[in-house]
């Protein structure tokens, strides 16, 4: 059986797959174009791809022999799941317990860095502008006593909440499914408007579905405090980037820290120019632990497929 791997993966995972499959391996971090994927997928029985590869109808149609798309990652909104099911193509994802912890740590890193102006301060010092300690120089926000609003209290949101409580923050949350059992741990459920109005920091951790496109819109941003900071380490399209740019320009909110982007890997050019924004290149679960767990899950799905066994993480 032939496996097409469209991105560089850890060597140990590659060796395990090489023992079972004939491989077409794109050993690079540079993404393939849709045309290149369509060309190389034609005679593949299975595809292993990162969630940054958009696997749409055209690509699924190009895979004449394709029977499995294994996503290297917990998400799967990059794949046309419904059309894959119509064509009899199985789709699997690769969740990893370490992913929630890693993404939560990165989210809290962004929150801290934004609260204390860490990155622009680093740049200021490197440019020779640091003249010494002064009582009113580069003041930021202390976290203790501040309100963190979490939108989406899944595994990642809960891990962020635990870290915020350890810093002495008040944590409120809004989620499509209320987590009453977690409210005993000093987490307070509120409606979305109340969260937007009360929070000093808002951290997004909801899974993406079309209904949440531009959840953070002009209207939502106008409800936030002028001192508020928005953190997004979930999915880019949840935030309307143009609306965010205008809110920052007009000082409707104080800042933002982003790990994901509406048109990723493209970033709104105005965001690149703002010192009130921290930009991270989608590093949420980019730790050795999380990526190896994902790789092992993806490998196990592919090995099960080759051996005619039940798929562990089938989505459709």
Is there a common fold for 2-96+288-306 and 98-279? Answer: yes
Residue 221 in tokens: 């941003």
Report the pLDDT value the prediction gives residue 297, as an integer from 0 to 100: 95
Tell me the domain boundaries of the chain: 2-96+288-306, 98-279
pTM score above 0.85 = yes
Report the pLDDT value the prediction gives residue 77, as an integer from 0 to 100: 86
Fold of the domain built from segment(s) 98-279: Rossmann fold (3.40.50)
Report the pLDDT value the prediction gives residue 209, as an integer from 0 to 100: 85
Fold of the domain built from segment(s) 2-96+288-306: Rossmann fold (3.40.50)
> Backbone phi, then psi, for 157, in 5-degree steps?
-55, -40
Among 259, 229, 293, 279, which residue's Cα sits nearest to residue 103? Answer: 259
Catalytic residue list: 235, 264, 282
**Which mean pLDDT values do the consecutive 10-residue runs of the chain (316 residues) have?**
97 97 97 97 97 96 98 90 96 93 97 96 95 94 98 96 98 95 95 98 92 96 98 96 98 98 96 96 95 96 96 91
CA distance linking residue 6 with residue 282, whole number of Å: 18
> Backbone phi, then psi, for 46, in 5-degree steps?
-145, 155
Q: Catalogue the long-range contacts made by 113-118 (C-beta closer than 8 Å, 24 or more residues apart).
A: 113/257, 113/278, 114/229, 114/231, 114/255, 114/256, 114/257, 114/278, 115/140, 115/141, 115/142, 115/143, 115/201, 115/229, 116/140, 116/141
């Amino acid at each position: 059986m032939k496996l097409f791997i469209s991105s560089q993966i850890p060597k140990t995972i590659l060796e395990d797959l090489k023992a079972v499959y004939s491989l077409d391996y794109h050993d690079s971090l540079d993404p393939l174009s849709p045309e290149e994927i369509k060309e190389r997928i034609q005679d593949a029985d299975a595809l292993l791809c990162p969630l940054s590869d958009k696997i749409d109808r055209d690509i699924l149609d190009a895979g004449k022999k394709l029977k499995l798309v294994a996503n290297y990652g917990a998400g799967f909104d990059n794949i046309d799941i419904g059309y894959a099911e119509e064509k009899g193509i199985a789709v699997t994802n690769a969740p990893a317990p370490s992913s929630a912890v890693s993404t939560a740590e990165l989210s809290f890193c962004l929150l801290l860095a934004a609260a204390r102006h860490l990155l622009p301060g680093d740049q200021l010092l490197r440019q020779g502008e640091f003249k010494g300690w002064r009582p009113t120089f580069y003041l930021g926000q202390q976290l203790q006593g501040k309100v963190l609003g979490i939108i989406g209290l899944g595994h990642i949101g809960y891990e962020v909440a635990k870290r915020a409580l350890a810093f002495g923050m008040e944590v409120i949350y809004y989620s499509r499914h209320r987590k009453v059992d977690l409210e005993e741990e000093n987490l307070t459920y509120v409606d979305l408007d109340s969260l937007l109005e009360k929070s000093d920091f808002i951290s997004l951790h909801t899974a993406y579905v079309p209904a949440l496109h531009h959840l953070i819109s002009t209207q939502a941003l106008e409800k936030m405090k002028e001192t508020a900071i928005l953190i997004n380490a979930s999915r880019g399209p949840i935030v309307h980037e143009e609306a965010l740019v205008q809110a920052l320009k007009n000082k409707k909110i104080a800042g933002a820290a982003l790990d994901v982007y509406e048109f990723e890997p493209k970033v709104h050019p105005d965001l690149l120019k703002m010192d009130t924004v921290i930009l991270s290149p989608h590093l949420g679960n980019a730790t050795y632990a999380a990526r190896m767990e994902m790789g092992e899950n993806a490998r196990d799905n592919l090995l099960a497929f080759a051996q005619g066994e039940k798929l562990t993480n089938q989505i459709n």
